[in-house]
Amino acid sequence: MMRRRFIIGSLTIVAMLAAQHVSQEPDAPAHRHVAAAVGRHYMRASWTSVENSRPGTTAWRLNSAAPSKAIQGFADHLSVPSGGGFKLYVKSADPWRVSAYRLGYYGGTGGRLVWTSHWVSPNRQHAAITSTATRTVEAPWAPSLTISQTWPPGVYLLKLRTLFDKQSYIPITVRSSSVVGRTVFMSSDMTLQAYNHWGGRSLYTGPDGKSPTRSYAVSFDRPYDANTTLRILDTEQPLIREAERLGLPMAYLSDVDVATRAGILTGARTVVVDGHDEYWTNHQRAAVTAARDHGTNLLFFGANQMWWQVRLGATAVGSNRLVVCYKYAPDPLARKYPELQTKNFRTLPSPMPESRVIGVQYTGLGAEAPFVVYEPAFFAFHDTGAKRGSAYQGLVGPEIDRSNPGKDSATTLEIVGHSLAHCRAGACISESSYYTVASGAGVWAAGTMGWVDALGQGLLKLGATPATKTFVRIVTDNLLLDFADGPAATRYPASPNVSRSGARSNTTPADLNADTD
């Protein structure tokens, strides 16, 4: 399939723009495509490409495999506008300072240093407290530092460092003032907090490591534990790096922004959902669905997405800093507001399977299998050399999705990848899908959590081969670039290949509700 590409100028355009004084706001909408090409790889001279022409550094990385417990902290905001201030709450027995690194491409370094604080005196804070009713763990700390910034939009890692070089992270998003004409990256902060076990509890387990003692609500008023911090590097950072390598005009929002700020997605070209965005409010889901129905493309780069319905509450630090999810326990609001109870979207009184938005839905965990191409004519497979049956090792797993033909899937559903696997509950199927809607929007789903992992450092240890990594990078680039051109259905209408009864497949899936944690 021939691909439309506007090539104007050369790579020197980006350098020239970077050298000029940029008088407009960094994330003001781009009105035309300015591209520079080397083979099929090119950058558009957007604010993002100008930003990424600045000097980068690898110093954003920690000096150890995991964050140190010698210094920990959190911010009083998940996202702030450029020019907005925020406070840090830090615990350290030694003098410390913080450096702000913006994640991006930056010539392959992955980040840029935008600011460093002065040295701050030691902060000895109070012990964590746990509420009785919801087993919510919070750090009742005093503010340690107020930061005023004029940083460009993006996802930032605030790297804390003691005088003795102990290090840890505080993530924060500098949100875009406009998403019009942009590819929007939506950080999955609520999912990160759900898995955060700092202080001994998460939405999964309690101090004894078992589910019955877990929290019913988790607070952003506490640091992230080591494993949660690493999730950012596995599910978010590789996508940010790749999108900014392409020079796409980007916008950045937190999932809480989308859940609480009406109309914030209006005019976006594409919304990018990262490798594992499991916890959504009903308002967030409605906002993303409405964007799709007004022509915004959706990219779901993972699996087990949009699985648990949650609601937000206030903490002592501020509003929308509490993530409530009772799951299988009785929700106090269930009687009065049954549709707002915090449980699986599929099990609400009026079920809302995630496949209505994503195209596929969660089917199991513990999978490990190759990704098998089912529809090689799919536009995003262009230049991969893929044929029907081509298998890419180490790409499917550990959590996977599959189609659910019937009333809960789009009539235009096209299965582009169909992989047999073995899950914890037995035989299972992972499927990658694409569909289009009347607004012109296109929606693609990877159907595997291993997609972003293969694009990044391979922290899941699935064993992605060099051939797999090349396939993933090309497909990811094709999706990002083509979706950034506007409603995908106008150029790439879906070719439905599955009947409403699911007659396409003669394989038997694992029980769809077997792996639900």
- pLDDT by residue (tens digit) across 86-134? 999 999 999 999 999 999 999 999 999 999 999 999 999 999 999 999 9
pLDDT level of residue 415 (50, 70, 90 thresholds): very high
The mean pLDDT value for 251-270 works out to 98
Cα angle: 184, vertex 186, 189; to 5 degrees:
165
Mean pLDDT of all residues in 276-294: 98
Integer Cα distance of 470 and 315 in angstroms: 45
Please indicate, yes or no, if residue 487 is contained in any of the structural domains.
yes
CA distance 62 to 29: 34
Q: Report the mean per-residue pLDDT for the chain.
A: 89
Check if the beta carbon of residue 76 is closer than 8 Å to that of residue 86: yes
Using CA atoms, how far residue 315 sits from 188, 217, 238, 281, 341, in Å, is 19, 11, 32, 17, 20
What is the domain range of residue 21?
12-52
**Could you tell me the pLDDT band of residue 406, with boundaries at 50, 70 and 90?**
confident
pLDDT at res. 35 = 35
Euclidean distance between CA atoms 405 and 503, whole angstroms: 9
Q: What is the DSSP string of 321-364?
A: -EEE--TTSPPTTTTT-GGG-SSBGGGSSS---THHHHSSEEEE
Between 266-275, 402-411, 446-455, the lowest mean confidence (pLDDT) is in 402-411
Dist CA 46 CA 14 (whole Å): 9
Task: Indicate the helix (H) or strand (E) that contains 51.
Answer: helix 47-52
Residue 30 binned pLDDT confidence (cut-offs 50, 70, 90): very low
Under 8 Å between Cβ of 461 and 390 = no
Q: What percent of the chain has pLDDT over 70?
A: 88
For the segment 355-384, the average pLDDT, to the nearest whole number, is 97
Task: Output the pLDDT for position 441.
Answer: 98
- What is the predicted pLDDT for the residue at 38? 34
pLDDT at site 280: 98
- The residue ranking higher by pLDDT, 20 or 221, is 221
Residue 466 lies in a domain: yes
Number of domains in the chain: 2
Three-state DSSP at 232 gives helix
Res 515 pLDDT > 60:
no
Averaged pLDDT, 286-290: 98
Percent of the chain at pLDDT exceeding 90: 83
Domain assignment of residue 41, yes or no: yes
pLDDT reported for residue 426: 94
What secondary structure does DSSP assign to 360-409, as a single string?
A: SEEEEES--EEEEBS-TTSGGGTTTT--TT-EEEEEE-SEEEE---STTS
Is 418 within the bounds of a domain? yes
Q: In what order do the strands lie in the sheet with 111-116?
A: 79-81, 167-175, 154-162, 96-103, 111-116
Q: What is the pLDDT of residues 416-471, one digit of tens each?
A: 999 999 999 999 999 999 999 999 999 999 999 999 999 998 889 999 999 999 99
Mean pLDDT of 364-371: 96
Please report which confidence band the pLDDT of residue 44 belongs to, taking 50, 70 and 90 as the band edges.
low
What's the pLDDT score for residue 122? Answer: 97
Q: What is the pLDDT of residue 45?
A: 64
Beta bridge partners of 35: 44
Domain membership of residue 411 (yes or no) is: yes
Could you report the per-residue pLDDT of 299-345, keeping only the tens digit for each? Answer: 999 999 999 999 999 999 999 999 999 999 999 999 999 999 999 99
Token output for 291: 């964007």
Q: Which of 496, 276, 292 is nearest to 403 (CA)?
A: 496
Q: What is residue 17's predicted lDDT score, i.e. its pLDDT?
A: 31
Asked whether 261 and 174 are in contact (CB, 8 A), the reply is: no
| Model confidence at 163: pLDDT above 90 | yes
From residue 261, alpha-carbon distances to 3, 79, 94, 296 in Å are 36, 12, 39, 17
Tell me the pLDDT band of 230, cut-offs 50, 70 and 90. Answer: confident
Residue 415 to residues 275, 375, 410, 447, Cα–Cα distance (Å): 19, 7, 11, 10
- Give the separation between CA 249 and CA 35, rounded to whole angstroms: 12
pLDDT at 84 over 90: yes
pLDDT band at 64 (very low <50, low <70, confident <90, very high): confident
pLDDT band at 474 (very low <50, low <70, confident <90, very high): very high
Tell me, yes or no, whether 371 lies in a domain: yes
Which of 40-54, 57-71, 251-265, 286-300 has the weakest average pLDDT?
Answer: 40-54
Nearest to 238 by CA among 104, 392, 106: 104
In a domain, 370, yes or no: yes
What is the DSSP annotation of 132-180?
TTT--EE--PPP-EEE---PPSEEEEEEEEETT--EEEEEEEEE-S--T
Alpha carbon of 300 to those of 359, 360, 400, 446, 466: distances in Å?
Answer: 10, 10, 12, 6, 23
Q: How many Å apart are CA 88 and CA 75, to the nearest integer?
A: 5
Confidence tier at 22 by pLDDT (50, 70, 90): very low
Q: How confident is the model at residue 65 (pLDDT cuts 50, 70, 90)?
A: confident
Provide the pLDDT confidence category of residue 6 given band limits of 50, 70 and 90: very low
Classify residue 304: in a domain, yes or no.
no
